[in-house]
Amino acid sequence: MSALSKILELHPDRLFAADPLQRDIARRLYARIQDLPIVSPHGHTDPRWFADNQNWDNATSLLLLPDHYVFRMLYSQGITLEQLGIRRRDGVAVETDYRKIFHIFAAHYHLFRGTPSRMWLDSVFHDVFGLRESLTPATADLYYDHINAALATEAFKPRALLDRFNIEVIATTEGALNDLKHHAKLKGTGFEKRVITTFRPDDVVDADRADFAANVQKLGDITGENTTTWQGYLQALRIRRAYFRDHGATATDHGHPTANTADLSLSEAEALFSRCLAGASAADAELFRGQMLTEMAGMSLEDGMTMQIHPGAHRNHNAVIFERFGPDKGADIPSPTEYVQALKPLLQKYGNEARLNIILFTLDETTYARELAPLAGHYPALKLGPAWWFHDSPEGMLRFRHQVTETAGFYNTCGFNDDTRAFLSIPARHDVARRIDCRFLAQLVAEHRLNEDEAHELAYDLTYRLAKQAYQL
């Protein structure tokens, strides 16, 4: 190690409260659950990785290019996406020297101080790659070479890492029209129960999309149903759901701009569907998305799939970036989200069904104590997903537990989702959640609001059991 370099270490007490009493309890709780298998029921890793089991290429294209948390921060400080090698839709040339891009990242690594990205990345560097010096401009080459060399080995092939990371099950997410060929390829490998898909029908239920009618047509082609009729369309969705279940899916996922739901009569729904196929108004598209959430809840009651609702992102807020680089480039911004009126039609119809598992997420933390905990603390069909996206962070998780627990308890929540495409960071992300849950429980024990034996049981439940139960894994 050079004179200038700084040690990279992960302190065993990281993220626990500094107060000795709470820290000691947190250590005891964490010691018993830190090595539990990882259950990752909601994420965005590429199933091709596990199907083909090829080595990854280099540090930049694995760690930086797919991680919008990373390049949004760099972009906010004046570094262009072209400099970072993000491919332009219009074919304009961008940086392709991956080492150079890694140097830019190293030179700006201080920007991530205080962010979860910093913590996840340091964990990947330390635990996954065994690096013991901090990332700085001086160590950028060392990092780049070391990581690339590691990535070329057998031990860093995707399936080997599934084992090393102790991932019991991981769910990817595919669109309704996806052929699931990667999942199909896994059949018979012994990994088909560990790498499963999730049914995400946004592309065939969102009539705001330019390709909606074409997608619905494809849905008909794939299923052999006449999807120009409402009943044919619904039946085609049932067929696709069954196809996904056959590839491991136990859950559906719905990423809508709002939490609005609807419960239209058959004739209203038919007329709305026809209008949407012909080119929907914004209001019709919103109403149709809402109706489809209720329809999907009904199908979940039929086929038993867990239903996830992820509302509240204003997608592609930056039109210039969207035009040049496409979606998922760090320009999605949360919006205020209303749940009490929005969910009422769906809940009136299905909220009292104890067999139904609907998991709600939010980007609007103001709804935790005001709306979501009261709803989940009453309706048998509702549970709350963990702190999501911008709030998947130590502070975000603490706010979630502090604001939700008193009204919804622990047992109307569902454990942790990593929600990531950054595969190598999955152990770090689950470790953050485990540490923060132990920290929260330790505070309750230290303040004599919970017994320590109960806290041990809860730590196990929050780490492992509740996710398996909520997603039926």
**Between 20 and 188, whose beta carbon lies closer to its own copies?**
20
In the sheet that holds 38-40, the strands lie side by side as 38-40, 167-171, 195-196
Coil, helix or strand for 65?
Answer: coil
**Between 258 and 407, whose beta carbon lies closer to its own copies?**
407
Coil, helix or strand for 334?
Answer: strand
Options 39, 64, 119, 169; binder of its own copies; rule CB under 8 A: 119
φ, ψ (nearest 5 deg) of residue 359? -110, 120
Options 2, 3, 11, 282; binder of its own copies; rule CB under 8 A: 11
Restricting to residues 403-442, which ones interact with its own copies according to CB under 8 A? 403, 405-412
Q: Is 96 in the site for its own copies (CB under 8 A)?
A: no
Restricting to residues 372-391, which ones interact with its own copies according to CB under 8 A? 373-380, 382, 390-391
Q: Is 333 in the site for its own copies (CB under 8 A)?
A: yes
φ, ψ (nearest 5 deg) of residue 261? -130, 165
The encoded tokens of residue 242 equal 């069954």
Closest C-alpha among 314, 317, 331 to residue 81: 331
**Between 272 and 408, whose beta carbon lies closer to its own copies?**
408
CB of 403 to its own copies, least distance (A): 7
Q: Which stretch binds its own copies (CB under 8 A): 59-67, 147-155, 299-307, 357-365?
A: 357-365
Bridge-based pairing of strands 313-314 and 333-334 is antiparallel
Options 31, 32, 55, 76; binder of its own copies; rule CB under 8 A: 76
Coil, helix or strand for 333?
Answer: strand
Q: Is 184 in the site for its own copies (CB under 8 A)?
A: no
Q: Is 110 in the site for its own copies (CB under 8 A)?
A: yes
Binding mask 123-162 for its own copies (x = CB under 8 A): ----------------------------------------
Residue 251 β-bridge partners:
306
Q: Is 447 in the site for its own copies (CB under 8 A)?
A: yes
φ, ψ (nearest 5 deg) of residue 131? -75, 145
**Between 226 and 451, whose beta carbon lies closer to its own copies?**
451
8 A C-beta contact, residue 54 and residue 157: yes
DSSP 381: T
**Between 61 and 83, whose beta carbon lies closer to its own copies?**
83
CA distance 383 to 433: 18
**Between 309 and 321, whose beta carbon lies closer to its own copies?**
321
